[in-house]
Chains A and B, each alone.
Chain A
Amino acid sequence: MSVRYGLLALLDEAPSHGYQLKTAFERRTGGNWALNIGQVYTTIQRLERDGLVESLDGDPAADDERRAYRITQAGRSQLAAWFDNPVVPEAPARDELTIKVLLAVAAGDIDVSVLLQRQRRASIEQLQAYTRRKAKADPKRDMAFLILLDALIFRTEAEIRWLDACDARIRSVSKEAAR
């Protein structure tokens, strides 16, 4: 989804070739969202099929590499609608950590607090790695990169808060039981 609209947004600025789109997309998203060129061409073909972009020189026989594309009127209105509407979170993805914790709690013979702490340490170390990158970045020149890092950092932070909450819940129940 994000690649499709990303390419549309770039084509809205200027007609481009696939390879130009690939490098521009990567630059815009902070240099950390690698795209492969094949993915760019398939996405463009779908956009063309849906009438959202069109080939500039209209030669259907030309190679992918030599073809330049521009956005159509329909493409422009779809792009505007995308920017105008919030991203609706999908139903929670099946996520391994949540499932692991739920199963560990149910199992009864696994030390959940040890499991939670091991996970907490791993997540903090991941956060430390992100934060090092953040500390080195230039607030003006690397703004896109910093915004991307913030997304990764806050997601990891949320995970740690959830681990803390699990821990506290389990502790309060086992304290009650000890009474």
Chain B
Amino acid sequence: MTVLVQLDGAARRFGSGHTEVTALHPTSLTVEASELLAVMGPSGSGKTTLLSLVGGLDRPTEGRVVVAGQDVGSLKARDLAILRRRTVGYVFQDLNLLAGLTARENVAIPLELDGRPIGEARAAADAALDSVGLANLADRFPDDLSGGEQQRVAIARALVGGRQILLADEPTGALDSITGESVMRLLRAHCDGGGTAILVTHDAAHAAWADRVVFLRDGRMVDEARAASSPDLTTTAA
């Protein structure tokens, strides 16, 4: 099994002395290829903090975070940026897309930043949009897309160019349940194809698409649920 994400006693504290806040206490966790992990917990429990550490948007104040074999805490800024462009994609709850660019241009950004020729970047963007079922909307601007379509464009951008690790913070927040489900099917398909995704959500029905659900509370991982192998579903009519 390939471990793609590993936290080794990783913690994040803010401030110091009597104003110190521990957003995440020392936490250990591994996520393998093909695994979809969901993170649940009340507001302020450290979910976004955990995701930011894995995404290299923030560094641990203690312990190690290893992503695709690289120790995020000790990477130089330049190498961290490369990791983010090539290996890890991030989907935020909102403000995902640049309004002045079409869907295709938005999706192509990470590749263009990575110095790929524009033609190649756009072709890869089209392929990514196709994989989320939006090939026909590539020329639309974000304002002309529904919330669910925008979220799928954001996922295409997070995955473009074959990035393996997808991090999603409440990606289904404002969507109705069937549209949210279509977003979950995309995450599931990404993992079934050998990638990895970590999903932060308050929505249990969406978390249930994951192989494993970890629960945070006051900055600590307190529990874990796993998909059982042989579900039994038979009901009896009343």
Contacts and interface: CB of A to CB of B under 8 A. Distances in A.
Nearest to B224: A121
Interface stretch (B98-106, B143-151, B208-216): B208-216
Given A117-B222, A135-B185, A34 B236 contact: yes
A74 interface: no
B77 interface: no
Interface stretch (A13-21, A48-56, A94-102, A126-134): A126-134
Interface residues of A, number: 36
Contacts of B203: 157
Interface in A115-154: 117, 120-121, 123-125, 127-133, 135, 152-154
Nearest to B184: A131
A72 interface: no
Q: In which size bucket is the chain B interface?
A: 20 to 34
Contact of B208 (A39, A128, A164): A128
A156 B204 contact: yes
A153 B207 CA distance: 12
A133 B204 CA distance: 16
A2 B237 contact: yes
Nearest to A131: B208
A84 to B, nearest CB: 22
B75 interface: no
Nearest to B237: A33
A142 B204 CA distance: 23
Given A127-B208, A152-B233, 13 more contacts: A1-B238, A2-B237, A32-B235, A33-B237, A34-B236, A121-B223, A124-B40, A128-B228, A128-B231, A129-B233, A154-B205, A157-B203, A160-B204
Interface of A: 1-3, 6, 25, 29, 32-35, 39, 117, 120-121, 123-125, 127-133, 135, 152-154, 156-157, 160-161, 164, 167-168, 171
10 contacts: A32-B235, A34-B236, A35-B237, A128-B227, A131-B208, A135-B188, A152-B233, A152-B235, A157-B204, A164-B202
